[in-house]
Amino acid sequence: MFDGKLKAVTFSYDDGVTQDRRLIEIFNKYGLRCTFNLNSGLLGKAGLLIRDGVTVAHCKPAPEEVRAIYEGHEIASHTLTHPMLPDLGDEEIIEQVENDRLKLSELAGYEVTGFAYPGGGVNFNSRVAEIIKNNTGIKYARTTVANGSFDLQENLFEFEPTVHHHSQFGEMVKLAEKFIELKPDKPQILYIWGHAYEFDIFNQWAEFEEFCKMISGKSDIFYGTNREVLLGK
C-alpha cells in the first residue's frame, strides 16, 4: 500500500542537468514527485551533447545549488563520474557509488539511499548489483531495462522501470491511460524514467506537460519519489 492507496506513480531522471529546473517546474505544477540521479564528481561542469544530429546543453548545476534545485524531490546517486560499472573492479565500484552517495548526502542535507545505473546498453549485472547491495548504503538501484509492467519487484537492486519517457512515448501514454483506469487488488506502480535534456533534443516539453496533466490529480493514486514508493519512506 502507498499511503493507503494501491496505485503509485513515480519518475526518475538521470545525470543531474540544468534542464532539470524546467522539468521540476512542471512536476511541481501538477503535484508530481521525482527522483533525480546525480554524479557528484561532475557537478559544476558545462558540456554539450550531440544526439540524433542535435546539439544540446549537457551542463551540471554547481554543488551549492543542488539542495535548492531539488527541494521537494529526491536526490539519488548515479556514481561519481558516470563509468560503465561492469568494466570496473569491486573496489572501484564501491568507490564510485558510496563516495557519490556520501557527497550527495552532504549536499542534500539527508541520507541518500537511492541509485540509478549509469550508461546505456549493458550497464549492470548481478555482480555489480551484489557489490552495491553488500558494500554501500544504497537501498535500491534502478536499471534502464523498461519492462512495461506495473507489478512490484522483489529485487530492488536490479529494479526495472515501467517505461522510458522518450523512446517509448506512445507506449507511455497508453500505459498511463491503462493505469488510470486500473482497479487493482494488489499494489501497482507506474515508473517512468529518462533524461531531462532529451526534451530539448526531441522538442517534447509541451507533450510531456500534457502527459503530466493527464496522469496527475487522481484520488486513488499516490504520487511519490522512488524512495517513498519503493521503500515506503
Gap between the Cα atoms of 227 and 205, Å rounded: 25
The CA–CA distances, whole Å, from 182 to 1, 68, 161, 170, 178 equal 15, 36, 18, 18, 6
pTM beyond 0.85, yes or no: yes
Gap between the Cα atoms of 97 and 205, Å rounded: 31
Residue 115, in any domain of the structure: yes
Residues in the chain: 233
* Whether residue 11 has pLDDT greater than 90: yes
Judge whether 40 and 222 are in contact, CB under 8 Å.
Answer: no
Gap between the Cα atoms of 193 and 170, Å rounded: 14
Range of the domain at 190: 7-231
Over residues 136-162, mean pLDDT: 98
pLDDT (0 to 100) of residue 120: 86
Q: The domain that contains 89 carries what CATH number?
A: 3.20.20.370
pLDDT (0 to 100) of residue 67: 98
Over residues 189-210, mean pLDDT: 97
pLDDT (0 to 100) of residue 218: 98
Residue 87, in any domain of the structure: yes
Write out the three cell numbers for 194: 529518462
Write out the three cell numbers for 200: 530539448
Residue 1, in any domain of the structure: no
pLDDT (0 to 100) of residue 217: 98
Residue 146, in any domain of the structure: yes
Task: With cut-offs at 50, 70 and 90, classify the pLDDT of residue 89.
Answer: very high
Gap between the Cα atoms of 231 and 159, Å rounded: 12
- Split into its structural domains, the chain has a count of 1
Over residues 170-184, mean pLDDT: 98
Residue 35, in any domain of the structure: yes
* Whether residue 4 has pLDDT greater than 90: yes
Residue 2, in any domain of the structure: no
Residue 191, in any domain of the structure: yes
Residue 68, in any domain of the structure: yes
